Amino acid sequence: MHGGRLRQVLATTLVLAAALAGTPPAAAEMSGGGQASTANRASAASQASAASQASIAGRAPANVVEARTALAAIERERAEAAARLRADEAECRQRVLVNDCLQRVRERERRQAQALKDREAAARAVLREQEAREDNRARAEAAARAEDQGAEQRRREEATARQQRRLAEHRAQEEQRAAREARRAGEAEAARARQAEREADAARRRAQVGERQAQAAERAARHERKLREVERRNAERDRNAAQRRDQALRRDAERQARAAAAAERQTRAATTGQGHAVPAPPTPSTAPAAGATPAAAPAPAAAPKD
């Protein structure tokens, strides 16, 4: 929109410059670089011509082009009026009635200045109206753009909300899945712990059984060793008792032999010396020797205790 206005103003300026310099509008537009299209150039030329005619006729401009053309003409006319006023004042100072001449010249200049001011006010009113219309159109376009942007923003927000809902649902599903996996992992870990505990209990029971068996085997071995020791002591005691009995029997036999020999010697002595019989002493086989005690039987060894 602003580019079109710029091209239109440029075309109007070129037309006015061409009109002031006496150059045809087409040549002026070509010298300006061909900024406007053929339709715009034709429209600008016609509008500039109408604006010039309106300025000449003294009527208010009907559009923006006429208003801008009128303003340019007004500025030009003001410059011309100022130059003409200076020339007229210089000429009046050469006349006889200087004050009257200056008064007429200045009155004419005042009327022309008022007329130019009125024409300028009318042209600027047209420009203000155009600016107001452009402002209204710009506001309407801005409102439309804002509405479009609002709709687009709402669509983006709705899309963002949908995406956030999907992400939230996905996160919830992931959390539920993670919770299920954690629960299953906990259950599996608990099952492994129970299995390990059962295996440990079984290992402890096996160890206890092995320990009890080892203790029983040790007790049996100790009992067997004690039995063999008791048997050895009993056998040794029996041997010692037998040796003592044999020794006692030998001593008894020796005593009996000595007693028999003594008795025999006494008998022979009595027979030889007295000539009468002397009663014989008892034989060792029938009576124990004096002071001799029978050998006691050995006591059996006590049975071993576990």
pLDDT tens figures, 217-253: 999 999 999 999 999 999 999 999 999 999 999 999 9
What pLDDT shows up at residue 183?
92
Q: What is the mean pLDDT of residues 5-33?
A: 43
Main-chain dihedrals φ then ψ at residue 123, nearest 5 degrees: -65, -40
Closest CA to 48 of 31, 79, 23, 30: 23
The count of other CB atoms within 10 Å of the CB of residue 241 is: 15
What pLDDT does residue 165 have? 93
SS3 68: helix
User: Tokens representing 117?
Assistant: 């001011």
The token pair at 65 is: 């082009």
Which phi and psi angles does 135 have, rounded to 5°?
Answer: -65, -45
User: What pTM was computed for the model?
Assistant: 0.34
Tell me what the mean pLDDT of segment 269-285 comes to: 61
- Compute the half-sphere exposure of residue 213: CA atoms within 13 Å on the CB side of its CA: 6
| Residue for token pair 């005593």 | 255
> pLDDT of 173-195, one tens digit each?
999 999 999 999 999 999 999 99
Q: Please tell me the distance from the alpha carbon of residue 278 to that of residue 268, in angstroms, as a whole number.
A: 9
CB atoms within 10 A of CB 130: 16
| Higher local confidence (pLDDT), 52 or 255 | 255
For residue 74, give every residue at least 6 positions away whose Cβ sits within 8 Å of its Cβ, in sequence order, or none.
55, 116, 119, 120, 123
Please state the rounded mean pLDDT for residues 255-277. Answer: 82
pLDDT tens string 54-96: 444 456 788 888 889 989 999 999 999 999 999 999 999 888 8
Query: How many C-alpha atoms does 97 have within 13 Å on its Cβ side?
Result: 5
Residue 18, pLDDT > 80, answer no
CA 132 to chain centre: 58
Query: What is the residue-averaged pLDDT of the chain?
Result: 77
pLDDT digits (tens, 9 = 90+) for 140-171: 998 888 888 888 888 999 999 999 999 999 99
Q: Determine contact, residues 122/61, Cβ cutoff 8 Å.
A: yes
Tokens for 206, please give them.
């096996």
Average pLDDT estimate for 1-12: 48
